[in-house]
Amino acid sequence: MKTKICLLGIALLVGVLLLPLASSAITVSPPIIELEAAKGDVINQSIKVRNESANSETYYLSAERFVAGGEAGAPVFTGEDIDLATWIKFPYENVTIPGGQTIEIPFSIIVPNYAGPGGHYAAIFLSTAPPEAATTGGSNVAIASRIGTLVLVKIAGEVKEIAEISEFGTTAKTFDSLPVAFNIRVKNDGNVHLKPMGTISIKNMWGSVAGQVAVNETGGNVLPDQIRKFEASWVKNPNAVGANTFWGKYRQQKENYAFGKYEADLGLAYGTAGKILSAKTSFWVIPWNVIMVNLALVVIIVVIIYFAVKKYNVWLVKKYARKAKK
């Protein structure tokens, strides 16, 4: 089961947020902060930063707007100091962290009275150079290494939680063994980030449940006006990986055996009211190598029985022929 990736899988987040840090190894936690607020609220939060190197290092604090980039949901930093990025305030512009030490950096979010309801998004960065030196013309430039935390804030009011499944299906219509890979695309038509989570229930030709697969176990979010792709996989033995040969495929098919037509029912819950999205698809699993080996065994057994019976009949005829001569 895979659904690999709160707004984005933490693995993706770390991969995107951590720009080269060879000379300045630090870690920041948490990687994602999700908050709810109302107009005029002041929220006090903090992040923990650890300098993994042996030397003291000075880091500069900044906030920057981000949007979702593509269907994988990876953050794209716009370089813009607008919206939530302007609401985030730090007590100091930079901080020096001794080698091997962890410190807590406080910050405040001052929500203006004009803030619109729904989702607002920004990233808090620690950079080895001042923000003005790390950006040019509003575009990120890899001059300095930096690391950050994503901040997602939902402002109360006329919040619209609307989503739909734009696609649900398998990567092929016919498989020769498990795993069967599913693609799920969810479109957010509302004004706040959503976290669709649920399961795929798989039934065989006789209507019995053959398996269940979790979808979005990592709690990835779908941003407003975005389509997010989630992946899931039905497999019995994930360690059974055969070589790309006849007998390698036979082993794979035997240890991840399935046969016939299957129907998959997707159910996803999202939003504060727990709204449900559903969809269906079907697919076939035909383990050709297993079928050929089994047919070959049947043929061999039939041939052995045929010749054994034939030999027995010949022996029987000879036996009665000898008795008749006597």
pLDDT, tens digit, 9 for 90 and up, residues 160-205:
999 999 999 999 999 999 999 999 999 999 999 999 999 999 999 9
- What is the pLDDT, as a whole number, of residue 312? 87
The predicted pLDDT at position 322 comes to 74
Put the strands of the sheet holding 26-29 in their side by side order.
26-29, 42-51, 102-110, 88-89
Same domain (yes/no): 168, 210: yes
- Is residue 323 very low, low, confident or very high in pLDDT (cuts 50, 70, 90)? confident
Specify whether 250 is located in the same domain as 323. Answer: no
Same structural domain, 98 and 198: no
Alpha-carbon span 120 to 105, nearest angstrom = 21
150 shares a domain with 171: no
- Does residue 180 share a domain with residue 314? no
CATH for 43:
2.60.40.10
Domain tally, the chain: 3
- What confidence tens digit (pLDDT) does each residue in 41-90 have? 999 999 999 999 999 999 999 999 999 888 988 899 988 889 999 999 99
Residues 301, 221, single domain; the answer is: no
Predicted local confidence at residue 321, as pLDDT = 75
Residue 1 inside a domain? The answer is: no
Please indicate, yes or no, if residue 229 is contained in any of the structural domains: yes
| Peptide bond between residue 179 and the one before it cis (omega within 30 degrees of 0) | yes
The verdict on residue 5 lying in a domain is no
Q: Are strands 74-77 and 57-69 parallel, antiparallel or unpaired?
A: antiparallel
Distance CA 286, CA 274 (A): 37
2 located within any domain: no
What distances in angstroms separate CA 300 from CA 232, 253, 305, one per listed residue?
A: 41, 22, 9
| 146 and 194 in a common domain | no
Q: Per the confidence metrics, is the pTM higher than 0.85?
A: no
Residue 312: which residues within 8 A CB-CB, separation 6 or more?
none
Q: Note whether 57 and 113 are same-domain residues.
A: yes
Contact indicator for 64, 151 with CB cutoff of 8 Å: no
The closest of 234, 281, 288, 286 to 258, measured between CA atoms, is: 286
- Do 141 and 181 sit in the same domain of this protein? no
Retrieve residue 193's tokens: 């980030």
Show the domain range for 18.
10-155
Q: What is the pLDDT of residues 205-252, one digit of tens each?
A: 999 999 999 999 999 999 999 999 999 999 998 887 767 899 988 999
Q: Is residue 41 part of a domain?
A: yes
Which of 155, 171, 188 lies at the terminal end of a domain, its last residue?
A: 155
Both 78 and 193 in one domain: the answer is no
Q: Per the domain annotation, does 263 fall within a domain?
A: yes
Structure tokens that stand for 102 in this block? 């962890």
258-305: per-residue pLDDT in tens?
999 999 999 999 999 999 999 999 999 999 999 999 999 999 999 999
Domain boundary residue among 92, 123, 155? 155
Question: Of 155, 173, 195, which residue constitutes the final position of a domain?
Answer: 155
What is the DSSP code (8-state) at residue 116?
P
Residue type, 261: K
In a domain, 31, yes or no: yes
- Residues 174, 49, single domain; the answer is no
Please state, in angstroms and rounded to a whole number, the distance separating the CA atoms of residues 80 and 121.
11
- 121 has pLDDT over 80: yes
Same domain, 17 and 120: yes
Res 316 pLDDT > 90? no
User: What's the confidence (pLDDT) of residue 317?
Assistant: 78
Q: Is the pLDDT of residue 141 over 50?
A: no
Domain contains 14: yes
In this prediction, residue 326 carries a pLDDT of: 63
Q: How far apart are CA 25 and CA 52, in angstroms?
A: 5
Residue 9's pLDDT is: 42
